[in-house]
């Protein structure tokens, strides 16, 4: 069964460094998303991406965040200058239409 994959599973970085989190959505899906979950808190929406552009973003998704679909398979989230409060589990999701979203296993980001 097709699934969303994410790499790395765990990323440790120093405050102020740039990180890129990578996702491979399900191949025929058209909508792509990033969510995050700070330990013990709710899953929060960051951004949705469709037709090679951002379609929605939350107030969390400020200028230090960016997303890109550099080729036909990868979908990336870049955090330019990480802060301690960016430590969280980051989930990528994809959907064929505006319906069921399929989530990846997540990347745990630890900012020291």
Partner 1 sequence: KQEVTQIPAALSVPEGENLVLNCSFTDSAIYNLQWFRQDPGKGLTSLLLIQSSQREQTSGRLNASLDKSSGRSTLYIAASQPGDSATYLCAVSTRPGNGNQFYFGTGTSLTVIP
Task: Give the interface with partner 1 as residue ranges (CB under 8 A).
Answer: 4, 31, 33, 35, 41-45, 48-51, 55-56, 58, 91, 93, 95, 98-106
Residue 73: helix, strand or coil by DSSP?
Answer: coil
Minimum distance between the CB of residue 61 and partner 1, rounded to whole angstroms? Answer: 11
- Nearer to partner 1 by Cβ, of 17 and 55: the residue is 55
CB nearer to partner 1: give 18 or 56: 56
Calculate ∠ Cα 50-46-109, nearest 5°: 120
Residue (14 or 28) nearer to partner 1, CB? 28
**Maximum CA extent, the chain:** 39
Residue among 74, 59, 56 at smallest CA distance from 20: 74
């Amino acid at each position: 069964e097709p699934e969303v994959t994410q790499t790395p599973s765990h990323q440790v970085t120093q405050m102020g460094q740039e990180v890129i989190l990578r996702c491979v959505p399900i191949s025929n899906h058209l909508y792509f998303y990033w969510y995050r979950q700070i330990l013990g808190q709710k899953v929060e929406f960051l951004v949705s991406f469709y037709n090679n552009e951002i379609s929605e973003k939350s107030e969390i998704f400020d200028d230090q965040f960016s997303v890109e679909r550099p080729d036909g398979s990868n979908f990336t989230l870049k955090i330019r200058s990480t802060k301690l409060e960016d430590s969280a589990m980051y989930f990528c999701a994809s959907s064929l239409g505006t319906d069921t979203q399929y989530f990846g296993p997540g990347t745990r980001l630890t900012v020291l």
